[in-house]
Structure 1
Amino acid sequence: MPTKAQIQDLAARGMDYRDIGRRFGISAGLAYLIGTGLPADGGDTPSPEEREARGLAPASQDLADPAHENPTSRGVVHAWIGERVRLDGQMRAAGG
């Protein structure tokens, strides 16, 4: 688990919390929480002045619930499934 100092150092160098999270194998929201002490979901929201004084991002909600990837929509997955179906005559016959 990264320390607050490690995360703050990378953020000060211009790295965003998504990249920081990937570097340490944690979510961007957790990296934000460790680095700032604030939840990324917007709870316990500081004032605009406090955000500026602490060097916080203007908004962090997107770090709490990043977009999800559905790997079954990838072409390589469809090709793999197609090959499995092609090779399994018994299952093809059972499917009608």
Structure 2
Amino acid sequence: MLRLLAEGCDYDEAGHRLRIPLGQAYLIATGVPADGGDTVTCAQRDRPGMLRSSSQRLVNPNHSNPTAREDVHAWIRWRVQTDPQMRDTARHRVGADAEGD
């Protein structure tokens, strides 16, 4: 891990190359959990591989909302079209919306 970092890889690339989670890559390189659960001493801050910024992103990546993806909407439309109970519910909902309910 330290060799990959020394060669210029970041944790994203190193983890990808080794096929391990980024938090695990950080723990292997530094001996410190990436979740920030441990208090880091001055000596630990000087270890090779330590990030100067927060390491939280390595274990808690940004979340995405899959309901906003077009492929998810297409899948939902397909499910409604192929499921009789969902079709019936959709028909009733359209009727209720038209009546102002």
TM-score, normalised on structure 2? 0.67
User: Deviation at 1:94?
Assistant: 4.0
User: Deviation at 1:12?
Assistant: 1.0
CA gap of 1:53–1:34, structure 2 versus 1, over 3 A, is: closer
CA gap of 1:93–1:35, structure 2 versus 1, over 3 A, is: same
Verify the 8 A CA contact 2:29 2:49 in the aligned structure 1.
Answer: no
* Runs of 4+ with deviation above 4 angstroms: none
Aligned-residue sequence identity (percent) comes to 46
Which one has a bigger Cα radius of gyration? Answer: 2
Paired position in structure 2 for 1:19: 13
Select between 63-72 and 25-34 the one with higher mean Cα deviation. 63-72
Paired position in structure 1 for 2:77: 82
Paired position in structure 2 for 1:3: none
CA gap of 1:94–1:63, structure 2 versus 1, over 3 A, is: closer
Determine which of 45, 59, 64 is the counterpart of 2:40.
45
Question: Any stretches of 5+ residues in structure 1 without a counterpart?
Answer: 1-6
TM-score, normalised on structure 1? 0.70
Opposite residue 66 of structure 2, the aligned amino acid is P
Determine which of 51, 58, 62 is the counterpart of 1:57.
51
Question: Any stretches of 5+ residues in structure 2 without a counterpart?
Answer: 93-101
- RMSD over aligned Cα atoms: 2.4
